Structure 1
C-alpha cells in the first residue's frame, strides 16, 4: 500500500535508526527557518505547546513560527534523540540566537512528539528555557541553514 502524498517518512513504528533520521530531518526543517517546510511535517489539526503558546492547526503554527523567527535572529538549532517508542519520539534541544539589540541566547529544552501513521506530527509539546550568553560563548557557528554533518551535536558539545 502506497503512503499518501503528504506522508513524511520515516513512518512509525520507529526503530533506533528511523527515529534518529526523523530527528535529523526535523532539525533540518527548523534550521531552514521556513514555516511552510515545518508545517508540512504536521497534521492539519496538529496541537502544539511551545512555552506559553498553544497553536492548533497548520495556520496557527505558521503564524507562531513567523513570530518566533522574526524575534530569534540568526537561529541555529541542534536536536538529539532522547527516547523513542512506537509513534512517539522525545528529543533534547539547544539553539542559539540573538535579539534585535544584539544579545545572544542559548535556549535549552525538550520536545515530545506524537506522530500519526503517515509520519506527520499530530502533537508537539516543548519546554524551553533561555540563557543569555556572551557572543564569545557561542558554540553553533555554521552558516545559516542545515547543520553540516561534521558539526558536533549536543552531547559532543557538552550540552
Structure 2
C-alpha cells in the first residue's frame, strides 16, 4: 500500500473540476483547522501571502495557526477566476474581526499551481483589508462551511 497522498480533483482541470477545487479550498479554510488545511499542500510548498513567505508545509501550517488566532469569526468566499491544466486563479473576500471588535472585509487574489497528485505546490496571494462597520457585514452564516444556498461573490456584488 502506498503512503502517497492524493487530493482530488486532480489536474488537468476542466471548468467543473476547477470550480470543485476552489470550493473544497474555501471549505477547508472556513474550517479554520490549520492541521487539516495544511494537508492540501505539498511538503515543499512555496507560499507568498502578502509579505510573508512559507517554504514548506510546516511553515504554512504555522502561518495558518497565527492567522486564525488574529482573524476572529473568519468567513470566506472564493470564486474561480481562471484555470489551465494545473493552475487555478481565484478571487475572494473574507470577513473577520480583531480582538478589539474591529471588523474588516479582506479582498484578495490567489494563484495556485498543483502537482499531479492534486496537492498545491505554489500559492501566491495578494490581499487588501478594508475596515467595515459590523452593520456592513455580508457573511452571516454560522462559523464553518458556507451553506450551498448562500450567494457567492458575484451575487453579492463584491
Distance 2:34 2:55 in 1: 14
1:12 maps to which residue? Answer: 11
- Per-residue CA deviation, residues 69-114 of structure 1 (Å, 9 max, x unaligned), is 0000000000000000000000001000000000000000100000
Unaligned 5+ segments in structure 2 are none
- Per-residue CA deviation, residues 33-64 of structure 1 (Å, 9 max, x unaligned), is 00111110000000000001001111101110
Q: RMSD of aligned C-alpha atoms?
A: 1.3
Unaligned 5+ segments in structure 1 are none
Correspondence 1:53 to 2:72 = no
Structure 1's consecutive aligned runs of 4 or more residues displaced over 4 angstroms after TM superposition are none
2:89 maps to which residue? Answer: 90
So what's the TM-score if we normalise by structure 2? 0.98
1:118 maps to which residue? Answer: 117
Q: How many residues align?
A: 158
Distance 1:127 1:37 in 2: 23
TM-superposed deviation, 1:29: 0.2
- Per-residue CA deviation, residues 115-138 of structure 1 (Å, 9 max, x unaligned), is 000000000000000000000000
SS at match of 2:53: coil
SS at match of 1:61: helix
So what's the TM-score if we normalise by structure 1? 0.97
SS at match of 2:20: helix
